[in-house]
C-alpha cells in the first residue's frame, strides 16, 4: 500500500520515537528518525519528507535551530513542535518562525494524528493555491497580450511602468471588446501584487444593493436575508487588486463610498460600524464617456479625477490593423486545440477581407468570428464563405440615428442577422445574465429567452471570456 506520507520524527527520547513510529505506521505513514539537530539536517539532505515532528530540547541545540535552518534554506515543510508545558512560550516563538502548530507533552496519540492530518491538508491547500496562482500568472502575463503595432507597444511600456507602483489607481478607457479585462489582469500579474488575489466584477450586471454587498460585504442582520457575516471583494482582495468594469454605471451612493475607500483606505460593511482597513489596487474600466457623465452630474467629479490618476486608452482594432492577422493566428491556434481541429489559417481572400473590415466589435468580434468559423467549417483553411456577410461585403452594420429615428442603410441589411448580433452582444456585456441583457435591449426576460433559443445563443455558445482578449 502506498504510504500516506513520510514523517521525520526529531526527538532524543527513544520511547517517544518508538511510540510515534508504531502509531504512525499503523496509520500508513512512513517514518524517518533523528535524535539531534545534526541528524535532522542529514536526514533532510537524504530524504524528502512531508512533515516534521520536532522536539524543542535536543542534545546539540533546540528545535528553533532546526526551524531557523529550514527558513534559511527556504524548505517548505510543515512542522509540529513537541514541547513540555514549561516551554510553551518557546513553542509560540517557533510558530512565529513558521511552525504549523505545537503539541504539549505528554500528548495523546490520537490528537497527534489529527494534528498531522490537519497540517498535511493545510500544506496541500497551500500548494494548490500556489499552483493556481502560478497558472494564472502564466495565463494573464503581459506576454499573452497579442500585438506589435506601435500603439500596442506603447501600451506594453505603460503597463510595465504602472506595475512598478503597486498602489496607483488605473482607469482603462476604450470601446467594448478592446480587451480592458485582459489589460487589468496583466497589470496585476506583472506587479508585486501578483501572488495575491485578483477580484473583478461588472458593475452593470447587478442592482445597486447587491453590488454594494458584493463589494463591501455585510454584517449578520444587516437586512432580512443576511443570516451570517459576509466579506466583500475589497476585503477578500486585501494586498491584491480589485477590477471594477463598467464603473460608469454605479449609483451616486456607491460612488461616495468608493471615493471614501480610495481616500481613507478603509470602509464599513453594510450594516457595520467598524472601519476595515484594506490595501488594494483599484483598476476601473468603462466604454462610456465619463467626462460627459460628470458634466451631466451623473458621475462625481472628485471620484472621476481620483480614478483617472493613470488613464489608459485602449486602441480599437481598426487603429491597429497590423495586428489583425497576428491576433487571428493566435485565436486559430487556441480554437484548434479547444475543438480538436487542424485549421492552418485564413486563406488569402479571407485574410484580405479581415484586413479591410473595420471590426466595430474589436478583438471580441474577431475572436467570435473565428470561433464560429473553426467550429462550423469543414476545410483545413478558413474561406470567405466561412465569414459573416458583413465581413465578406467589407462593412459592418451601418446603422445610425437620425432626426426621425434609426436610418436604414441605402443598400439594406439582413434584419435577422442584425437582431441575432445585438442579442449576442447584450449577453456578452451582461456576462450571460439574461435579465440584464434584456434590459440593455429594452425587452423583458421572456422576449430575450425566445430569441436566445431562436438563434441558438445558449450560454455555452456565448464567449464571456472575449473581453479578456487583448
Lowest mean pLDDT segment, chosen from 122-131, 300-309, 310-319, 335-344: 122-131
Lowest mean pLDDT segment, chosen from 25-34, 41-50, 127-136, 318-327: 127-136
**pLDDT in the model for residue 74:** 82
List the alpha helices (DSSP H) in 51-172.
63-72, 88-97, 109-140, 150-164
Is the pLDDT score of 462 beyond 50? no
Is the pLDDT score of 333 beyond 60? yes
**Cell numbers describing residue 401:** 440615428
Is the pLDDT score of 402 beyond 80? no
Q: CA separation (Å) from 130 to 120, 127, 144, 176, 194?
A: 15, 5, 20, 33, 11
E strands along 233-363, which residues?
241-245, 266-267, 276-277, 281-286, 310-313
DSSP classification of residue 241: E
Lowest mean pLDDT segment, chosen from 165-169, 261-265, 336-340: 165-169
Per-residue confidence band for 343, with pLDDT thresholds at 50, 70 and 90: very high
**pLDDT in the model for residue 464:** 41
**pLDDT in the model for residue 130:** 80
Is the pLDDT score of 266 beyond 60? yes
Amino acid at each position: 500500500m502506498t504510504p500516506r506520507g513520510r514523517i521525520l520524527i526529531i526527538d532524543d527520547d527513544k520511547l517517544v520515537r518508538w511510540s510515534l513510529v508504531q502509531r504512525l505506521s499503523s496509520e500508513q505513514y512512513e517514518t524517518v528518525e533523528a535524535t539531534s539537530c545534526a541528524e535532522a539536517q542529514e536526514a533532510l539532505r537524504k530524504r524528502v519528507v512531508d512533515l516534521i515532528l520536532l522536539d524543542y530540547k535536543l542534545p546539540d541545540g533546540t528545535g528553533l535551530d532546526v526551524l531557523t535552518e529550514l527558513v534559511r534554506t527556504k524548505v517548505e515543510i510543515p512542522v509540529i513542535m513537541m514541547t513540555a508545558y514549561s516551554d510553551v512560550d518557546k513553542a509560540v516563538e517557533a510558530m512565529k518562525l513558521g511552525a504549523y502548530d505545537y503539541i504539549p507533552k505528554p500528548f495523546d496519540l490520537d490528537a497527534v494524528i489529527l494534528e498531522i492530518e490537519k497540517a498535511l491538508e493545510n500544506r496541500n491547500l497551500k500548494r494548490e493555491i500556489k499552483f493556481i496562482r502560478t497558472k494564472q500568472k502564466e495565463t494573464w502575463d503581459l506576454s499573452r497580450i497579442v500585438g506589435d503595432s506601435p500603439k500596442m507597444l506603447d501600451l506594453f511600456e505603460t503597463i510595465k511602468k504602472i506595475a512598478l507602483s503597486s498602489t496607483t489607481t488605473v482607469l482603462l478607457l476604450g470601446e467594448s471588446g478592446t480587451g480592458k479585462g485582459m489589460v487589468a489582469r496583466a497589470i496585476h500579474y506583472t506587479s508585486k501584487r501578483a501572488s495575491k488575489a485578483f477580484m473583478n466584477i461588472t458593475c452593470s450586471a447587478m442592482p445597486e444593493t447587491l453590488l454594494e454587498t458584493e463589494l463591501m460585504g455585510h454584517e449578520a442582520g444587516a437586512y432580512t436575508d443576511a443570516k451570517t457575516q459576509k466579506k466583500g471583494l475589497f476585503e477578500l482582495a486585501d494586498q491584491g487588486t480589485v477590477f471594477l468594469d463598467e464603473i460608469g454605471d454605479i449609483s451616486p451612493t456607491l460612488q461616495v463610498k468608493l471615493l471614501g475607500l480610495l481616500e481613507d483606505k478603509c470602509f464599513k460593511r453594510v450594516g457595520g460600524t467598524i472601519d476595515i482597513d484594506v490595501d488594494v489596487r483599484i483598476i476601473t474600466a468603462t466604454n462610456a464617456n465619463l467626462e460627459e457623465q460628470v458634466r451631466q452630474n451623473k458621475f462625481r467629479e472628485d471620484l472621476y479625477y481620483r480614478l483617472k490618476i493613470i488613464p489608459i486608452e485602449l486602441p480599437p482594432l481598426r487603429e491597429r490593423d497590423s495586428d489583425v492577422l497576428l491576433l487571428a493566428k493566435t485565436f486559430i491556434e487556441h480554437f484548434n486545440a479547444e475543438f480538436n481541429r487542424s485549421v492552418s489559417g485564413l486563406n488569402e481572400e479571407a485574410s484580405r477581407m479581415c484586413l479591410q473590415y473595420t471590426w466595430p466589435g474589436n478583438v471580441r468580434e474577431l475572436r467570435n468570428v473565428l470561433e464560429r468559423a473553426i467550429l462550423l467549417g469543414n476545410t483545413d483553411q478558413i474561406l470567405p464563405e466561412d465569414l459573416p456577410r458583413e465581413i465578406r461585403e467589407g462593412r459592418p452594420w451601418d446603422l445610425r440615428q437620425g432626426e426621425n429615428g434609426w436610418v436604414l442603410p441605402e443598400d439594406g441589411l439582413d434584419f435577422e442577422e442584425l437582431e441575432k448580433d445585438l442579442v449576442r452582444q447584450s449577453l456578452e456585456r451582461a456576462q450571460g445574465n439574461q435579465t440584464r441583457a434584456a434590459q440593455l435591449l429594452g425587452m423583458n426576460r421572456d422576449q430575450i429567452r425566445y430569441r436566445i433559443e431562436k438563434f441558438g445563443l445558449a450560454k455555452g455558445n456565448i464567449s464571456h471570456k472575449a473581453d479578456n482578449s487583448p
